[in-house]
Homo-oligomer: A and B are copies of this chain.
């Protein structure tokens, strides 16, 4: 395990071909737009160094027996899955934002078990290759971007049936020592803060899609990879002079990028699927399952911050004793704990795969995610109701720093006597950050992409539920014979 500082230093050595707001960025680590997202991942290292969180943040490697950061762990049992959810809630609480490191963990666990079953069917050696790769990750305590989502083009057509053959990432050349891939992964969370990228297919496939059934890992700054940084609501506030209050969350954030693979070479030992189309669906479904579970932890953690901020906002306004305020806070908590319950439930009901690591209950994981696509909107509504209009009509920090305006703002935006106007502004800006600003992406709308849209989950739910059993139960009770 490495320290937060070592992590940051290690990133300085990366050589990304990266563009932010139209400009090439050479030093991503110190870029003010990017830095908060780096800080969030850095927190996964810093908290792991804290002894009080050792049980949640670290684990014993099933590969090497060494102590590792749980973000690189292959879950061994339902308890591990539960601890994962608790760890993500903790990090959500510490950062109030997306900390980006789950995707790699979720990808690793999906690839680990899928390669095992692929090898069983095809006599390949993907599983050993992956073990070797993942041992390297654990030993170095690296961050891995788990890359799944392709642009997909016309969704009614399979990858190989697209007019433009590049709309799903694919093998364009085969060499003795590896393959060359081309394509694009979008919505890539945390890529600029990652050491490696672990690529998976994004849909179930048919034999004709052979060249698209490709899974592999390469360094995140490999030759041929180009990154375009996604823009967020309020992103340029970080560029404002002496930006502080108006950031809402001064230290942490998240990011997502377009990752363009412009004929990137992958050596054989880093290939974990190549043409076994019948296992593409398994890899996708398992990654999605793990990732939907993740949301039951991280969103509850960010929810804790939002609930706390809202409670402070009403307290600062002197309104915390009103019965409707209390009731809305209860409702926010109720929804937040329901999300968490779903995260715990799909974890506790996990079962071990043939490869030996533990897989979440896929049905309950989908149910968890489906709630994640709804409750944060309702929590947001309640937060904005309680925060009141000031959150969206408040003057800027620059106004507050203007000596002529400051006394006016101090006087008229003052809440209860014991709290400074500045602190009141800080807490309102934090709520804005989560409900409208940069963190809103991670808290709310991110749920709409990544490991499947809300509709994708619904389809999964309908497949995973045993309707025949339910119909038979009803027939039994209604005394229907056949």
Contacts and interface: CB of A to CB of B under 8 A. Distances in A.
A473 B344 contact: no
Contact of A427 (B96, B237, B480): B480
Contacts of A184: 408, 411-412
B371 A385 contact: no
Contact of A448 (B385, B429, B453): B385
Interface stretch (A102-110, A209-217, A319-327): A319-327
Contacts of A423: 478, 480-481
A234 B236 CA distance: 8
B473 A396 contact: no
A214 to B, nearest CB: 17
A207 interface: no
Contact of A21 (B96, B164, B340, B399): B399
A19 B402 contact: yes
B340 A393 contact: no
A256 B333 contact: no
A462 interface: yes
Interface string A457-475: 0100110010101111111
A142 interface: no
Given A237-B236, A368-B341, A478 B93 contact: no
A311 B318 CA distance: 31
Interface stretch (A52-60, A122-130, A150-158, A192-200): A150-158
A355 interface: no
A377 interface: yes
Contacts of A371: 338
B430 A477 contact: yes
A387 B404 CA distance: 44
Contacts of A401: 22
A394 B364 CA distance: 31
Query: How many copies of the shown chain assemble into the complex?
Result: 4
A36 B432 CA distance: 22
Contacts of A175: none
A392 interface: yes
B228 A458 contact: no
B311 A470 contact: yes
B461 A334 contact: yes
Nearest to A152: B317
A326 B387 CA distance: 23
A286 interface: no
A444 B444 CA distance: 15
A149 B19 CA distance: 45
B311 A411 contact: no
Contact of A462 (B155, B250, B329, B446): B329
A19 B393 contact: no
A312 interface: yes
Contact of A467 (B329, B402, B446, B454): B329
A328 B206 CA distance: 30
A405 interface: yes
B389 A226 contact: no
A104 to B, nearest CB: 18
A412 B338 contact: no
A62 B412 CA distance: 39
Given A258-B412, A391-B445, 16 more contacts: A151-B413, A151-B414, A155-B317, A187-B393, A232-B392, A233-B392, A250-B478, A258-B409, A304-B470, A327-B327, A330-B461, A337-B367, A344-B349, A373-B381, A373-B385, A423-B480
15 contacts: A19-B395, A22-B397, A94-B473, A149-B389, A164-B411, A164-B414, A229-B395, A231-B395, A233-B437, A305-B473, A315-B471, A377-B380, A393-B441, A426-B479, A429-B478
